[in-house]
Amino acid sequence: MHIIVAIVLFAMGLGLILYCAERLVRGVVGTSVGFGVSPFLISVVFIGFDPENLAVGAVGSFEGEAGIALGSIIGSAMVAIALAFGITALIAPMTFATVPKPILLVPVLSVLLLGLLAADGRLSRMDGAILLLGFVFAVVFLTWLSKWGLDIRPTGEVAEVLEETDRCSRWRYVGLFVLSLAGLVIGSEMLVAGATAIIAAFGLSGTVFGMTILAFLISIEELARELPAALQGRPEISFGNVVGSILAFFLFNAGIIVLVRPLDVDEQVLRFYLPFCLGTVVIVSLLMMSKRVPRWAGGLLVLLYGIFVLKGYVG
């Protein structure tokens, strides 16, 4: 494939994914509400739902592109917890009235579980089932915490659909879900085909490309979710997005991706990308225990993201 064709195909696939992902969220949530699922359960289950990452990762896995599949998990998580959260703190330092300490275990244990399962260099379908089971336990745990005062609120498209669902029929949402899912799959196929050609043409590492360039492009909207909430004096929403993203990426998305096709995990992921991501999650959790994320902490998180990106290119 000619490099220009590959870049165009990649860009068109990315555009289609971003367009369809928002509509898929609306379709899924609207259909769930229409068929009687409670808004609270929807808020918990879809707390970090990112269909674009899931679609790209699943197609990457199906096509045997482990770097793209793992990049949609680990690289995208770093965009959310380091780049987006760090820039948010730089612009609007965050102070929290209360931070339920048990919830800080959720992101740390999620990354740790994936790391332990990947330690042998391979994520099998059994590992995928374990990750999905972990997601179920996490949802149950968050539901239990809600009875002790944890306030779980929907954000973004989820909140908008919950507000307007009475005005639209559930079958309209079913149709939206089906069409947007088809568009998302087609867009992901285009993006992965273009990415594969670009990686080959420039002699790039599939892992580095997936962890950095691809992850950034499909996840930069995390900043649009976190910054406005902090500027409005609602930093808990920004942190909720961080927790939700880790929960979705490392348990739900990873579980589905590995069930599609088992993945070989290379040494670069095991020795650097996964441990570095886990360390970043621990740092964010420690900051949250202090109930403050000042500007210097935001700068530190952005610096960590810079190191994460540059390490793959400088060796």
Mean pLDDT, the chain cut into blocks of 10 residues (315 residues total): 85 89 77 67 65 89 91 93 90 79 85 96 96 91 69 57 60 82 90 90 87 88 69 68 84 94 93 95 90 91 95 78
In a 13 Å sphere around the CA of 104, the CA atoms on its Cβ side amount to 16
Question: 121 CB contacts (<8 Å, ≥6 apart)?
Answer: 264, 265, 266, 270
Give the pLDDT score at 21.
80
Contact 151, 137 (CB under 8 A): no
Name the domain count of the chain: 1
Q: What pTM, to 2 d.p., does this model score? A: 0.86
Tokens read off for 87? 């820039």
Give the pLDDT score at 168.
56
Phi, psi of 214 (to 5 degrees): -65, -45
Domain residues for the domain of 20 are 3-314
Q: CA 296 to CA 238: how far, in whole Å?
A: 17
Give the pLDDT score at 76.
92
Phi, psi of 95 (to 5 degrees): -130, 135
User: Within 10 Å of residue 152's Cβ, how many Cβ atoms?
Assistant: 17
Q: CA 17 to CA 154: how far, in whole Å?
A: 22
Give the pLDDT score at 19.
86
Question: The domain spanning residue 31 has which CATH number?
Answer: 1.20.1420.30
Give the pLDDT score at 71.
92
Q: Virtual CA dihedral for 99, 234, 49, 85, nearest 10 degrees?
A: -80
